[in-house]
Structure 1
């Protein structure tokens, strides 16, 4: 039989982790959208100022966009880690059992 207090704490840990994962995904989406907007606006601004720099600016834009696009994937990796491994669960169980004994 599972201790009701332990089940309650584990439930809270999982629910708070789900909220944190949602915040991580929201931050990644917002950061990616802002990054793409800034990259594309500066690219167009650079072409408008110096049209002869179009090939150089295009290459630099795609390099920068590729680096910026890695941010949501890194955030997704952390979110999946917290979702499926959840390191906080073991710490919560250890704390509850330590207090109970």
Structure 2
């Protein structure tokens, strides 16, 4: 078989694994952020405003992670550097 087929197939599998890991990591991050915020509010209800502010800041940072990983995965799909190496 043509080596390009193997490279494209391996890249497709790798991109799928990368996106799955990004989704799982983001979901775990959201769960931890939410759980710790609720835990902090139940321990000190007077800190609710400050905890919510921190939660929204960290949630924004957590949201950027999957988009950065998606951009990297799309680079492998559309601008595969491994295909250029064999041409």
Q: TM-score w.r.t. structure 1 length?
A: 0.84
Where in structure 2 are there 5+ consecutive unaligned residues?
none
- Which residue, out of 52, 68, 81, partners 2:75? 81
Distance in 2 separating the partners of 1:75 and 1:48: 34
Where in structure 1 are there 5+ consecutive unaligned residues?
94-101
Tell me what 1:45 maps to. 39
Q: TM-score w.r.t. structure 2 length?
A: 0.97
Distance in 1 separating the partners of 2:47 and 2:86: 57
- Which residue, out of 16, 22, 31, partners 1:28? 22
